[in-house]
Structure 1
């Protein structure tokens, strides 16, 4: 990235002084002024402001409190809450700015060459994406490590960005004479159609929903550009039918099916919540914004606990909202001005007579279409944050404006040339040094060498924050505090630096100050692990159970410190207030909820009444734990021999009957449950057990037991907790064999669960549709605290299949 920025700086230093040598239309000058204002906006955000003025800016309350508690009050601060990131955003604007200015100098032939280059790279991206699909996203062709590995990423990390670039290439490939600049058009359309088809298939390979939705727009633009004279109603009808047939055919492919399936979970990808939270943040920082590049600093401060996920939210997935947050009203005003100028210039170019046009109509339409597609994608993602898309976007945007025309030669004035060149060279040297120093500092930070990084960027808050952490690990508390204050002076909302300062104050036994600093660090989000652990420990000491449960919830949602934090939450159950606090977090149904419930069964310190109380609180909160969710907990209690508690939890989880899932409607396709009250197949040799729907079903699904002649013994079992007394085990059976060969049931007692328990005598009665009723009676004594019922099959000639349904256990009246 640094190399690209250096090239852009050199290009701007060479091109900008030449603007005085060409004749530029007023609308193009207006566009250049908007571009200059765009580049200056981050500069203005970096200008230090007096403390009194800075504290009056909206949204600075938390940053002001941090600087005050850190001893940094009354010092000048820039508008941006993260100046280093703002400077990075400024440097990232230089490549598209250079592309915009460069294209203004190009004639139609040069602009066609730009589109050819885009098409060539798009084809390369498509081919590489196809190879990645063929190799499963691994191996030599996996260019980058990505969460979207397995999709056709091509040269990109994000499948949405790859789709955007492919669509750019598709629209560009529709421009006539693109594949032969010498004017021969006879053999061009098959090549263009082939390229567009390849790129369309590659878009499907990305599995990008946004790409799939905008693919028809790109195809229509391609068709209009490539066949501008074929848009009669007959051709339109034929084309529509052909397109419909292609769409139907492609919809049946695995790639299309994968993409379409992703629309079913569109409400689960988090974008709507990102947008809602970003809108809230905009309201806090409007109208001046928080500073470019500060999204990842601001978003954690307003991120709701129940939306914390493992990957951080790095962007709003809507560039317009993110721009409004970081740049405020001035940025939105510049955006409106830029779009208005672009639309006006584009319409003017299309409406101008042929003699006055600066380029072909098809080139203008293609450039406008590319700009529109990228702007559409920006409403659902952040393609313009990628230089690989921002540069083509800027180049195509420039094609909407009249190109500069060289003025008539005039006598040279060397002194005037130097007046123009010297400021450009000075600005270039300054920007170049900033790009190089930031690139080298980032290189050292990636290698965990912040000391080397500050030699290149003495003002790098990230480097000083890392140094503060390293010194804290080495117990150099004074040095850690000094480094932390340097970082906070430059970036007051740096969570790691604030935490390092708080720990340094705690090491110095200034606990009141430390607590205040760590509480402020906690307000910067849920993601700094040491901060959250410190706050959990401190809250435990002051018996603030609610804070302990909330902070533990925030960390567990990030899959960190799970063993420690689950133990902390289990300890809270011993206190009534703590149990209520834990239940409140579990009622939100966090991803760690089932793991926590399962852990209760293996912790002997947690009493049965505490578990029962937790279940009652969950039910009262409208988020009861069901029997499936409680299976692992029941298994743990069973293995520990805590049979009375097994029954209590089973009832609290909604278990109403004495046997679990006797109708086999909730056990999936095979009896593979864990713990009591679930059906389990012990793996009897010669027997295959499954749960299916028979042809002549008694009622829905049933247990299917297919046996061979060698099968003899228990085919399926379930463990129960029955109180002493007399019981009847009833079931339905469909089997074509004789009564003597029908299966039977056996009952074994805990803790031994004898393997040679005798079969229970069964009484049979006829039913309907080939089914018979069976009833086996047995008695549970005081020495039998838990039981296991087993379905016993007997050997017989050949292969047979039998169905079992409606298994129930009922208590019989005493004799």
Structure 2
């Protein structure tokens, strides 16, 4: 990363944190506290000066933010927050020398000020000092930084091989790092998939983290329909969670009360649609659609190579002609009318070319219930 790019990153990080701080209610500011400020002599309104400086910073009024920050520093020179606001406003206004001075003094007063750590984090990244940058993220985690903000800096750190090595060295030894990184709270889809690819690599210098640590990420990947990535993380860190075939739990043995496993079926129930696991020695799913239109009943993410596949269902009893399947990207879509029967020879489907493919099962309206023993999905050989 170039120095110029890192400077832009530092500015962006500061703006991001400031805006989030304003939105989340910086310093627990309330209307009651603001009302009491008018009864406190101005010379003693240290907290008020900081709050007003933070508000001006969040609103982009940099001149006002600098002035109010200087007031806060003058009234309490040993509080790192006023200095951090002054540094942020100076950085955003282009006075990088003043920003460096303010943040430098703020850092000497303690390591728990998030705004200071964010600035120093970006400076460390610019210099290629990834271990130091990782230590700044440590400080952010200890400060209880907001999940979305922390994920931003984790993503910045893991954007380079050196940063990923610094990150990997902390995952196995720091519960705070593991919780923030593996829970992926606040991470977007691109960050989540990049992180999953990193965790699945054998050469990432990460020991086996186990099911308890990685299951939140596996579940999040499955919810996003990123089956290949979910399988990759499970294969490396939680082998028992890896499905045995193209379809996870194709005989519904793990279909629980919540209708899903880590990588498995999701069920869709409404007032007119019932999806129930029958009790007995063999797991079976009972489907019922009392509406007048075809309804979605089950789905699960799949990872498929390009080509044609055949989905087949073993149906116990009548009604198999009412069950139809679809393969789509991102979300299930109602299938077109087909002559093929899923319970008699199977239904041919073309795999979509996307990373979040999803197989869905739909039930046409009709009297009675349809009992399904298993679902298979296999490539069509030519």
TM-score range, shorter chain: 0.5 to 0.7
**1:126-275 alignment, distance < 5 Å:** none
Q: Which residue of 2 aligns with 1:81?
A: none
Deviation at 1:698, TM superposition (A): 0.7
Q: Which residue of 2 aligns with 1:809?
A: 377
Deviation at 1:544, TM superposition (A): 3.4
Q: Which residue of 2 aligns with 1:653?
A: 233
Does residue 542 (structure 1) correspond to residue 112 (structure 2)? The answer is: no
**1:551-590 alignment, distance < 5 Å:** 551-552=136-137, 554-555=139-140, 560-583=145-168, 588=175
Deviation at 1:684, TM superposition (A): 7.0
CA contact (8 A) 1:719 1:786 kept: yes
What whole-Å deviation, never above 9, does each CA across 1:12-66 have from its counterpart, x for those lacking one? xxxxxxxxxxxxxxxxxxxxxxxxxxxxxxxxxxxxxxxxxxxxxxxxxxxxxxx
Q: Which residue of 1 aligns with 2:287?
A: 705
CA separation in 2, counterparts of 1:557 and 1:704? 49
Secondary structure of 1:723's aligned partner: coil
Q: Which residue of 2 aligns with 1:341?
A: none
Residue in structure 1 matching 2:299, options 717, 720, 734: 717
**1:767-782 alignment, distance < 5 Å:** 776=346, 778=348, 780=350
Deviation at 1:747, TM superposition (A): 3.5
Does residue 695 (structure 1) correspond to residue 279 (structure 2)? The answer is: yes
Change in CA separation of 1:538 and 1:609 when aligned onto 2, cut-off 3 Å: closer
Does residue 620 (structure 1) correspond to residue 198 (structure 2)? The answer is: no
Q: Which residue of 2 aligns with 1:16?
A: none
Ranges in structure 1 where 5+ consecutive residues have no aligned partner = 1-442, 456-462, 489-493, 639-645, 765-774
CA contact (8 A) 2:157 2:163 kept: yes
CA separation in 1, counterparts of 2:354 and 2:49? 65
Secondary structure of 1:649's aligned partner: helix
Secondary structure of 2:298's aligned partner: strand
CA contact (8 A) 1:745 1:759 kept: no
CA separation in 2, counterparts of 1:755 and 1:801? 20
CA contact (8 A) 2:83 2:103 kept: no
Change in CA separation of 1:536 and 1:731 when aligned onto 2, cut-off 3 Å: same
Q: Which residue of 2 aligns with 1:517?
A: 105
Deviation at 1:612, TM superposition (A): 0.8
Q: TM-score, normalised by structure 1?
A: 0.32
**1:100-499 alignment, distance < 5 Å:** 447-448=36-37, 452=41, 473-475=65-67, 479-485=71-77, 488=78, 495-496=80-81
CA separation in 2, counterparts of 1:697 and 1:595? 36
CA contact (8 A) 1:598 1:633 kept: no
Deviation at 1:613, TM superposition (A): 1.9
Q: Which residue of 1 aligns with 2:11?
A: none
CA contact (8 A) 2:158 2:164 kept: yes
Ranges in structure 2 where 5+ consecutive residues have no aligned partner = 1-31, 54-63, 235-241
CA contact (8 A) 2:228 2:302 kept: no
Count, aligned residues: 324
Deviation at 1:668, TM superposition (A): 4.5
Q: TM-score, normalised by structure 2?
A: 0.60
CA contact (8 A) 2:249 2:255 kept: yes
Deviation at 1:542, TM superposition (A): 3.0
Change in CA separation of 1:683 and 1:756 when aligned onto 2, cut-off 3 Å: farther
Deviation at 1:537, TM superposition (A): 3.4
CA contact (8 A) 1:599 1:633 kept: no
What whole-Å deviation, never above 9, does each CA across 1:757-810 have from its counterpart, x for those lacking one? 52643567xxxxxxxxxx73636478798765443435444xx44443443434
Whose strand proportion is higher, 1 or 2? Answer: 2
Deviation at 1:575, TM superposition (A): 0.6
Change in CA separation of 1:687 and 1:759 when aligned onto 2, cut-off 3 Å: farther
Change in CA separation of 1:568 and 1:788 when aligned onto 2, cut-off 3 Å: closer
CA contact (8 A) 1:727 1:810 kept: yes
Deviation at 1:648, TM superposition (A): 3.7
CA separation in 2, counterparts of 1:635 and 1:679? 11
Q: Which residue of 2 aligns with 1:629?
A: 217
CA separation in 2, counterparts of 1:618 and 1:659? 31
Q: Which residue of 2 aligns with 1:35?
A: none
